[in-house]
Amino acid sequence: MQRTLYKSLIEWKNSANRKPLILNGARQVGKTWLLTEFAQREYRQVAMFSLDRNDKARALFQGGGSVEQLLRGLSALSSIDITPGDTLVILDEIQDCPAALTSLKYFCEDAPDIHIAVAGSLLGISLHGQTSFPVGKVDLLRLYPMDFEEFLRAMGREQLADELTRGDWQLINSLSAEYIDLLRQYYYVGGMPIVVEAYARHCGLQQVRQLQHKLLDEYEQDFSKHAPPGEVPRIRMVWQSIPSQLAKENKKFIYGALRKGARAVTFEIAIQWLVDAGLVYKVNRVKAAKMPLKFYEDANAFKLFIFDIGLLGAMVDAPAQAVLIGNDIFTEYKGTFTEVFVAQQLACTAYPTFYHSAEDSRIELDFIVQLGTKVYPIEVKAEENLQSKSMRTFIKKHPELTGIRLSMKQRTHQDWLECIPLYAFKEEFNRISSTP
């Protein structure tokens, strides 16, 4: 499988200012596989240690000692001479050994020529448990579930993915039926690598669902294993409520939907736990469409999106027929799947993303994104029926802005509005953000 983040790993290896690398991300998004693949292709040898299972390696870090002593111990444990430039040291599940995380500071200061990369599935959780973080001494990358472009490549449709990157819209528009069919498949399969790989091997739709349910079961087990015991019931309530919260016309998260009289103070730790674990994306409201958006953020109003669209389908048992045949997936569920798809693709871009509504108006924008030096209001439509006055009304009030509408309609341009197909919006956003 090809992962877009691989290019960033190459840049890290070749950087003159390289520091120890932390690769973060939710469980099962492919961190260990990606680091291993990177090591095998770009280095002569790899010394890998799983700190959740390797007691001796964990004890080595917990015992302290200099970087020189640590390297000598790691070489002895792995039977590999760790040499600068041609060896990659990989520490997997580093959140299980806080001392190893702390040691990255000393690797940065005392052995900058040693290439060391670590992966952490629940690193955000452990940091909230007072684990010391080597601020300024590490490079950070985050891996997400596979986006639609990566899904195309995994399915052997590299040419279709390349065309999206090139942006030849005459050709892309002529292939829209193929893109839409593959987008339907992505809605069902999602971007979890183990599921995508099985589907690409022609495993059946029922097996895909079984794998997704297995992942969901493992995440629920993580709640009990890693969350504070008193928070586990609340975490489960929030997690299990997300599909019904998103099915509402107004997708703002409502505490009262969890239980009668529920308040923010009761559930804010549970929500933050899910965010830190990478299992949900929290999109806050902004009160004004102005740069920088963060200045106008209202943290008390937000939407929660599950981090993978395929897992959402498994949570609600969306039948394959509804997703892959006809227009049910686009016309039913109040656009839930499409908005989750957009949120998932936006998360991979790291663009500052919010949604917008004003106290004195019924107009709500699904998303509002900061691309480069500009702000773009975004309207998400699940099909080609684009009858909506919200965007036009908003742009009339803010004529300095250009709106973006994401839908199944082919690429078109108007003075006040860019219409972008859902299957191409990430690549087009990249082009828009690089335009002066």
Average of per-residue pLDDT across 44-66? 95
Q: What is the pLDDT of residues 305-360, one digit of tens each?
A: 999 999 999 999 988 877 776 665 555 555 889 999 999 999 998 899 999 887 65
Which residues, other chains included, contact 149 with Cβ-Cβ below 8 Å and sequence gap of 6+? 4, 161, 164, 165, 426, 427
pLDDT band, very low/low/confident/very high, at 370 (cuts 50, 70, 90): very high
| Separation between Cα atoms, residue 421 and residue 416, nearest integer Å | 17
Q: Would you kindly state where each structural domain of the chain is located, as residue ranges? A: 6-142, 148-433
For 230, the token pair is 């008193």
Average of per-residue pLDDT across 274-287? 95
Q: Check residue 333 and give its pLDDT.
A: 59
Is the pLDDT score of 279 beyond 90? Answer: yes
By mean pLDDT, which of 207-216, 236-245, 401-410, 426-435 is the weakest? 426-435
- Alpha carbon 107 to chain centroid distance? 28
Instruction: Output the CATH code of domain 6-142.
Output: 3.40.50.300
For 268, the token pair is 């804010």
Q: Check residue 319 and give its pLDDT.
A: 85
Q: What is the pLDDT of residues 101-123, one digit of tens each?
A: 999 999 999 999 999 999 988 76
Is the pLDDT score of 384 beyond 70? Answer: no
The residue that leads in pLDDT, 98 or 115, is 115
Is the pLDDT score of 383 beyond 70? Answer: no
Q: Check residue 4 and give its pLDDT.
A: 95
With H, G, I as helix, E, B as strand and everything else as coil, classify residue 335.
helix
Tell me which residue has tokens 């095998």: 40
- CA quadruple 99, 101, 102, 108: dihedral positive or negative? positive
pTM here?
A: 0.93
Contact in structure between 171 and 181 (CB atoms under 8 Å): no
pLDDT band, very low/low/confident/very high, at 125 (cuts 50, 70, 90): low
Is the pLDDT score of 127 beyond 60? Answer: no
Contact in structure between 375 and 293 (CB atoms under 8 Å): yes
Average of per-residue pLDDT across 208-225? 95
Q: What is the pLDDT of residues 152-181, one digit of tens each?
A: 999 999 999 999 999 999 999 999 999 999
- Order of all β-strands in the sheet with 417-421: 297-306, 280-286, 353-357, 364-371, 374-380, 403-407, 417-421, 412-413
* H or E segment to which residue 433 belongs: helix 425-433
Average of per-residue pLDDT across 239-251? 90
Q: Check residue 165 and give its pLDDT.
A: 93
With H, G, I as helix, E, B as strand and everything else as coil, classify residue 348.
helix
| Separation between Cα atoms, residue 361 and residue 391, nearest integer Å | 13
| Separation between Cα atoms, residue 139 and residue 26, nearest integer Å | 18
